[in-house]
Structure 1
């Protein structure tokens, strides 16, 4: 009887319950009724929205009766607002008018993925970047994205920082700024320290995991970061952003903009400084930067000029912490000191430092100093409805040095003869040296787009770039100077690199539900290294590479909310400078690498839930693998391995629980293996010669490749203007080398951060924001990076492990004004 009454009551209430929630649906199209797939539809004042599908259709579900303002936007079109009174299900078709001027987004479209692309990617908006920007480098702002692991030499996210995607380091992550390559041409690395507070001038970032789409610059072997700089504000503005926090960290930023003048002109500028003592002893940073941009907007064309610069002075903290010091093992420290030949000052510094803050350097000017200036001229033109063009000219000028105090150096290492002093023939001396890099990077990028019909699109793009690098060293002081002058170069080397690529892309939808693409890229690299290196060895490498990188894929729309995709891509990549100059005696010259990347994924998007699930297989031929070792200059050693692979699954989801709560979560689980690995250990003989001891390993884990990376964020917005978030990140165990030895690893770690932000207004001030970021709230003691090396004498092998400890609980407090 109770069951019957319950069912009867439910049936009576069902019409009431169903009528309490309604749907708004329709089609977004141009005024000529051509559908606009990818248009964004959201409700003003709400945190959720949807994207129009391949037919331009959209649907907003589970809405209560009431008044709403519908916001509809699409690149190249005027944003439309429409007031609605919702009393029942509504059919609301939206027509968008072309924008009065060409939007900045066209500059990056040639190298961007979209909803129809069979590519694994994630977009990070300006709002997301701003709410996490407390002055830390960009990798830390991107830390909560799938498969990402970040690290900081100074331990707190300011200074030298690094990022890995799917276990691949920064030299394998392609970075472009407005389609222009940013990776250093020779090391192929990314040095965010040269671009302090650049996050304050970013409009959005797209992270493509795997090979991704064809792009400019070095090949992507783990992922790509496609950065677009700030688009103009519609109105004039001034911003003052300030942060203070742990380790005397201070950030001051001033931003100015004219807004659009006569709908044709805009000018923007930023001036920043960041200083920090760092968590590690003497790991201080003093960073300055600026960004200037001016643009002309015509109805069908855009011209933008960008000039930005960074100047950094950071105390070196790149040696890490010896394992004995990290564990507080006094005897182990004494043994390490003896093996390293430490003098009394070095030994006492080792014994008396903190376990997690030790820095081997004590000389007051043991600093890295570098300035980098970027110049960009960007042009885009919409010739007609079917044909558009964009191009860029760029020039980067970089120059700097790092200074070091060195004890008891052989004069012969600097090309100097012994000298008579203090009543004896002196063959060694204490000295201070500087090692310089003076480089120029310039070139052009271009892209043509032709869309003859709604379901067919062609893109032809590419770039030509030249790099000219000078490497030289100076001894600016020596106790026994021999015949040297402090302006003499004791070594001079050059690196010249010419890089050309062209790519053609086509996307075609034979039916509404299916999108196909093909992407073919040809790239040629001419790289020449000459002169002498820092060890006075003669350099003569001249290599030319020809790469063909094809990509094909398909996306199938199951319905308006979901699609599945698959793609297969090939990527090739040349060795970097260190692979040649740091080559161990007895090992063959490095070879270029090849990657076959298979991606399969599923996407689901509706007004509350956004979900992405993908699986990948990345299969390498001759992958250049980090051995875990570094040399005395913190250069990491790599060697080719015949066959290796990375396979895994990734989940990326966000769900709006209510008007107050939202959850963001992602997880990456992977298997990263080398089929056959040869490990080399250098054995030093009494006569000064060196031999190699080899050992073989099968099916061993690739170094610095955790099997699991999991991140989550709970967001709470109890009232207007206030938001709090709890962020959590787990990174699984990582091995320091490729032997899968449990004594050479980074332990798994789980770190939690909390962020609070409050926005309000006062008379005369458009917005005031107070923000607080508390990092590592549970004071987890963890190391995010490290290295290891082994050496042998008379058959006895000794292994040294080093770690980069990260800060415990620390905070950053911000106060920002917008006028």
Structure 2
């Protein structure tokens, strides 16, 4: 195991290190408490952990830090100085970032906005580009690692991220800001709060625009954000109403596919043997202008009505009714021009696509002979929900709460043509369930501004596939709390029924058959699955400085939609089962006037997991595929330390250290399919699309198992602030690769470990006061100060320096049969001890932003 050096580790542990850099800590050296959040936002149905009371591992970030530190970073990256958090930009497109907590992906992290669940109801996904505007309206963000304190039956396997937006009754004032950064980044923002009137009315408004390019080539974007809230509470009344609507219509060009390291080096225009971190294989030129094969566009407005009713001194009812209407999708290419796939149009000097040649080839062909077009995979939805919680204080020591969580979701999934690229039309010949259909209409890849959704394309325009997903969710929860001067304890439980129905519009009732020969119908009917969780915890305040806590929980979590209906078919999986999660955690906290620290140890087991990995490029004869894995069992355990130390009004020190041990337990099964046709694909070197994955004791990848951070904030004079952050990433492994664990030899070799890296960020703020209410603020940030080149994640798991015999044993073939493949592997060589055949994403190089804002 690679470690940071001893002196560095000693410094981290000695200083203890904080998960967050609190903007107000210089004036207030005590740790942020939950009531600080309640003073600036409406928490409503959100379950906010309270310091020295709620027995969970928690970190809180307030608005000022987000405004200062985020710049042109991705929203989840603000959490990278929190223990056991690993957030990356992934491919590097605007909003394409992803978040891991304790080794669990964001599909299994509950992301909540004002207590409302955000994770997609079919697959648990979180698309941060849909929520890019949240950074503008967030008043506080709290991360509860582990099972958390939420009473809902949510998928908080790794943790819960509670994002609390500004309230309508925020004090009167406004702000205008303009930010610029690398790669033509420009952001403008205006916000204003009316404050609360004498009659109890209040409102808040925000509008912003962000545009430019990301660090990678060919990643232009444009995004807007709007937010409006209106509140009413009659003076002295018992009812508080808040209505909010927010949305972030955007489009952005993507870098969707992880790229072989050898290609980063091959297509570096400097030809100096180093990787071009900006290289993007998904774009080119058409008529002299940038043209991307991969464009994401979406608008997901969310409306909510919060009603808080103080029924009596002891009873309160919190209710939120919400709705969301998402419209949009992401583009790709399909078809072939006279038998030529898109890869044949790549320029071997630049690595970019020549779309002018695609255009010419399409014009020289006809739809019946084959053309290559850009299509879009639509993922639209209508989503409605209601959460209501009744809270009652029995006496000074006992409280209980109970409530309901009801949701309805209808998702639209289909493909349409977005650009015929010179062709007169496109004939879809891949779908076995419907006759070939000539399509001549195109849908522009633009986000609709309609806050209530917008058009759903007619069936006549759909190609590839057309299926809908319907989800019904009914849940109930309850919690019992006990508190006194020393002890706070809770026990809570929730139950939920999730009903899943798949509707395939291309299926002919009673005629279409599955891959296994079963007759299928357009509608499956609802498959109902019951799940539940039970959690308990206790916190003991030893004295004013020391406290200890523990919690334990068990989940029976329903699998996601694509596990119920696998292989994109209207057949319920024959081995469908709930996923089982058991977690236990112990913690210690220390509080003093100028030093605060936390230590946590945890262990979580996750059994009977199902996972689908898509967008697997060139895994079989140049095809794009997806793999389904089931029967996965995981163990995640580790230790976390975080703290902050305020030396005086000038200097504050913060940081964190976390060390995990995350691995698979037992073996699993995998099946492989072609992405465009859903037809089975045989694994390389095999005559079957099914395989056993030998994973016992193999490390869980896709997130760093050791992280550390150290930061200082210096205020040498009034209104001037300087901050610096160091972050270390270690024990980082490649994500699960179903193609390299099909033999015992591969399991013995283990997961590919990526090189560790260190990053440094700098920030500077200066405030110019005009009067008590009006002031200018100048802020500058530099990220990755020393322009460090590092691999942020790998999609494949090929080890370096393998002998011909080792290579054959791992691949499950013979030396003679794999001679040509092994020769290519050898020729590719290594980069920093990693085989150049691995498909990876490099982290961004040095980037910067500067912002001027005026508060009034």
TM-score range, shorter chain: 0.7 to 0.9
Give the match for residue 537 of structure 2: 553
Q: Find out whether 1:624 has 2:604 as its counterpart.
A: no
Farther off after superposition, 798-807 or 184-193: 798-807
Give the match for residue 401 of structure 1: 329
Which of 697, 700, 724 is the aligned partner of 2:698? 700
Q: Find out whether 1:611 has 2:593 as its counterpart.
A: no
Give the match for residue 297 of structure 1: 233
Residues 669 and 690, structure 2, Cα contact 8 Å, conserved in 1: no
Q: Find out whether 1:599 has 2:585 as its counterpart.
A: yes
Residues 388 and 449, structure 1, Cα contact 8 Å, conserved in 2: yes
Give the match for residue 658 of structure 1: 648
Aligned partner of residue 263 in structure 2, secondary structure: helix
Give the match for residue 102 of structure 2: 166
Which of 706, 715, 718 is the aligned partner of 1:717? 715
Matched positions, count: 709
Equivalent-residue separation in structure 2 for 1:748 and 1:687 (angstroms): 33
Give the match for residue 277 of structure 2: 356
Equivalent-residue separation in structure 2 for 1:173 and 1:717 (angstroms): 36
Gaps of 5+ in 2: 1-22, 285-290, 342-361, 428-436, 442-460, 515-519, 673-680, 742-746, 799-810, 826-836
- CA change 1:643–1:236 in 2 (3 A) is closer
Equivalent-residue separation in structure 1 for 2:127 and 2:424 (angstroms): 34
| Aligned-pair CA distance for 1:639 | 2.2
| Aligned-pair CA distance for 1:190 | 1.0
Q: Find out whether 1:286 has 2:260 as its counterpart.
A: no
Aligned partner of residue 215 in structure 2, secondary structure: coil
Give the match for residue 401 of structure 2: 459
Residues 661 and 717, structure 1, Cα contact 8 Å, conserved in 2: yes
Aligned partner of residue 453 in structure 1, secondary structure: coil
Give the match for residue 728 of structure 1: 726
Aligned partner of residue 200 in structure 1, secondary structure: helix
Residues 211 and 571, structure 1, Cα contact 8 Å, conserved in 2: no
Give the match for residue 528 of structure 2: 544
Give the 5 Å matches for 1:293-372: 293-298=229-234, 299=236, 300-328=238-266, 355-362=276-283, 364-366=291-293, 367-372=295-300
- CA change 1:782–1:742 in 2 (3 A) is farther
Which of 777, 790, 806 is the aligned partner of 1:782? 790
Farther off after superposition, 319-328 or 173-182: 319-328
Equivalent-residue separation in structure 2 for 1:767 and 1:657 (angstroms): 28
- CA change 1:637–1:712 in 2 (3 A) is farther
| Aligned-pair CA distance for 1:52 | 9.5
Residues 247 and 299, structure 2, Cα contact 8 Å, conserved in 1: yes
| Aligned-pair CA distance for 1:236 | 2.5
Aligned partner of residue 303 in structure 1, secondary structure: strand
Equivalent-residue separation in structure 2 for 1:608 and 1:424 (angstroms): 75
Residues 760 and 783, structure 2, Cα contact 8 Å, conserved in 1: yes
| Aligned-pair CA distance for 1:111 | 5.5
Farther off after superposition, 304-313 or 275-284: 275-284
Which of 802, 811, 816 is the aligned partner of 2:839? 802
- CA change 1:781–1:742 in 2 (3 A) is farther
Give the match for residue 225 of structure 1: 161
Aligned partner of residue 428 in structure 1, secondary structure: coil
Farther off after superposition, 637-646 or 674-683: 674-683
Q: 1:449-490: per-residue Cα shift (whole Å, max 9, x none)? A: 101212111111231000001111123524663451234212
Give the 5 Å matches for 1:5-16: none
Give the match for residue 66 of structure 1: none
TM-score by length of 2: 0.75
Equivalent-residue separation in structure 2 for 1:584 and 1:43 (angstroms): 51
Equivalent-residue separation in structure 2 for 1:640 and 1:686 (angstroms): 20
Residues 124 and 206, structure 1, Cα contact 8 Å, conserved in 2: yes
| Aligned-pair CA distance for 1:217 | 6.3
Give the match for residue 481 of structure 1: 426
- CA change 1:787–1:703 in 2 (3 A) is same
Equivalent-residue separation in structure 1 for 2:550 and 2:146 (angstroms): 13
Aligned partner of residue 796 in structure 2, secondary structure: strand
Aligned partner of residue 462 in structure 2, secondary structure: coil
Equivalent-residue separation in structure 2 for 1:423 and 1:634 (angstroms): 24
Q: 1:317-367: per-residue Cα shift (whole Å, max 9, x none)? A: 11122221134499xxxxxxxxxxxxxxxxx99999962222222251531
Equivalent-residue separation in structure 1 for 2:272 and 2:561 (angstroms): 36
Q: Find out whether 1:754 has 2:762 as its counterpart.
A: yes
Equivalent-residue separation in structure 2 for 1:631 and 1:678 (angstroms): 22
Which of 118, 122, 126 is the aligned partner of 2:55? 118
- CA change 1:389–1:634 in 2 (3 A) is farther
Residues 86 and 704, structure 2, Cα contact 8 Å, conserved in 1: no
Aligned partner of residue 613 in structure 1, secondary structure: strand
Equivalent-residue separation in structure 2 for 1:187 and 1:607 (angstroms): 45
Q: 1:240-292: per-residue Cα shift (whole Å, max 9, x none)? A: 12210111111111101111211611111000111121111101221111000
Residues 701 and 751, structure 2, Cα contact 8 Å, conserved in 1: no
Q: Find out whether 1:150 has 2:150 as its counterpart.
A: no
Residues 206 and 227, structure 2, Cα contact 8 Å, conserved in 1: yes
Q: 1:213-251: per-residue Cα shift (whole Å, max 9, x none)? A: 234464111010112110356642121122101111111
Give the match for residue 567 of structure 1: 551
Residues 708 and 728, structure 2, Cα contact 8 Å, conserved in 1: yes
Equivalent-residue separation in structure 2 for 1:792 and 1:472 (angstroms): 37
Give the match for residue 497 of structure 1: 471
Aligned partner of residue 507 in structure 1, secondary structure: strand
Q: Find out whether 1:520 has 2:502 as its counterpart.
A: no
Residues 289 and 309, structure 1, Cα contact 8 Å, conserved in 2: yes
Residues 112 and 226, structure 1, Cα contact 8 Å, conserved in 2: no
- CA change 1:272–1:530 in 2 (3 A) is same
Q: Find out whether 1:768 has 2:787 as its counterpart.
A: no
Equivalent-residue separation in structure 2 for 1:607 and 1:110 (angstroms): 27
Give the match for residue 30 of structure 2: 49
Residues 136 and 158, structure 1, Cα contact 8 Å, conserved in 2: no
- CA change 1:122–1:599 in 2 (3 A) is same
Give the match for residue 144 of structure 2: 208
Equivalent-residue separation in structure 2 for 1:506 and 1:423 (angstroms): 70
Equivalent-residue separation in structure 2 for 1:188 and 1:533 (angstroms): 25
- CA change 1:661–1:595 in 2 (3 A) is same
| Aligned-pair CA distance for 1:159 | 2.9
Rg bigger for which structure?
Answer: 1
Equivalent-residue separation in structure 1 for 2:615 and 2:326 (angstroms): 28
Higher relative contact order (CA 8 A, sep 6+): 2
Farther off after superposition, 108-117 or 444-453: 108-117
Equivalent-residue separation in structure 1 for 2:183 and 2:727 (angstroms): 23
TM-score by length of 1: 0.79
Aligned partner of residue 64 in structure 2, secondary structure: helix
Aligned partner of residue 553 in structure 2, secondary structure: strand
- CA change 1:74–1:269 in 2 (3 A) is closer
Residues 43 and 114, structure 2, Cα contact 8 Å, conserved in 1: no
Residues 257 and 615, structure 2, Cα contact 8 Å, conserved in 1: no
Aligned partner of residue 247 in structure 1, secondary structure: coil
Gaps of 5+ in 1: 1-41, 54-72, 80-102, 331-347, 414-419
Residues 322 and 384, structure 2, Cα contact 8 Å, conserved in 1: yes
Farther off after superposition, 365-374 or 782-791: 782-791
Equivalent-residue separation in structure 1 for 2:683 and 2:544 (angstroms): 70
Farther off after superposition, 274-283 or 208-217: 208-217
Give the match for residue 247 of structure 1: 183
Aligned partner of residue 630 in structure 2, secondary structure: strand
Residues 630 and 668, structure 2, Cα contact 8 Å, conserved in 1: no
Equivalent-residue separation in structure 1 for 2:300 and 2:393 (angstroms): 39
